[in-house]
Amino acid sequence: MKKLIGPLWLLIGVLLAWPAWGFQGLAEVTIQSDRGYYMPLIPVSSDQPQTYRAYVEAVRGERYSVRVENRSPYRLGLVIAVDGRNIISGKKSFLQPRERMYILDPRASGLYEGWRTGRDRVNRFYFTEAGDSYAGAWGDHSAMGVIAVAVFPERRPPEPPPAIYDPEGPYRHQDGKEGLKKSAPQPKMPRAESQPGTGFGEGRYSPSVRVDFEPEPVAAERHFLKYEWRETLCRRGIIDCRPSGNRFWDEGRGYAPYPRER
């Protein structure tokens, strides 16, 4: 058994914080600002099965947390990587089950506020320039600007096959084997560019405990949230940044219409 640290249907619109792209998973992942709101997610299509992708607008200097809700009746293991680094170990992450992970109880939610630097301490996440980021300090720009969560269900012992009655002999079990599904190919992370990153902020008390957990060998789903500065999202057309119309300067109004009959 592994010793791991333990202390997720997304409904989202372009201007809403809850995702909706037809993705229904075991987990719901959102980004929570220290200013008390969920940061709007802008979903994009994905050609990878059981993979959710979305953009999120980063605000310079803003502290944030990764919030994960377990929608399932089972424990889940969460490998969380920010800018390509595992937030518990600080090592380069490949979202694999052998990495250190948080354990989330059934129907529970967890708030992951920063880089874990001790059993009872984390250092806060905040949006900054890539050169000031934690990953950048290690010379790693391979997945800059991406918050990734891989969800691993807990491996459970197989249930025995049902017994059937044989009038000419004792009870026996049905024979049958079920093969494991092949894992989905690993999604490619975007190449590094001049963009935001996540810094290594001030320390905060955050107690954790060690638990026994054996994950499934393949992630059930993956969530990738790509954060960018607002000017980048505007330039790429991901969000509509055109100024709103002026009700006193609408060139298309034409002549005055007849009033409605009462």
Pairing outcome for strands 51-58 and 221-229:
parallel
If you average pLDDT over every residue of the chain, what do you get? Answer: 82
Flag whether pLDDT at 192 surpasses 60: no
What integer pLDDT is reported at residue 233 of this predicted model?
Answer: 95
Taking the C-alpha atoms of residue 235 and residue 229, their distance in angstroms, rounded to an integer, is: 10
Entry pTM: 0.75
CA distance 2 to 212: 6
Of 215 and 160, the one with more pLDDT:
215
Encoding tokens for residue 18? 């809850």
pLDDT at 81 over 90: yes
Lowest average pLDDT, out of 25-29, 129-133, 237-241, goes to 237-241
Averaged pLDDT for residues 121-132: 97
> In terms of pLDDT, which residue wins out, 258 or 12?
258
Lowest mean pLDDT among 26-30, 159-163, 166-170, 255-259: 166-170
Q: What per-residue confidence (pLDDT) applies to 102? A: 97
CA 261 to mean position of chain CA atoms? 54
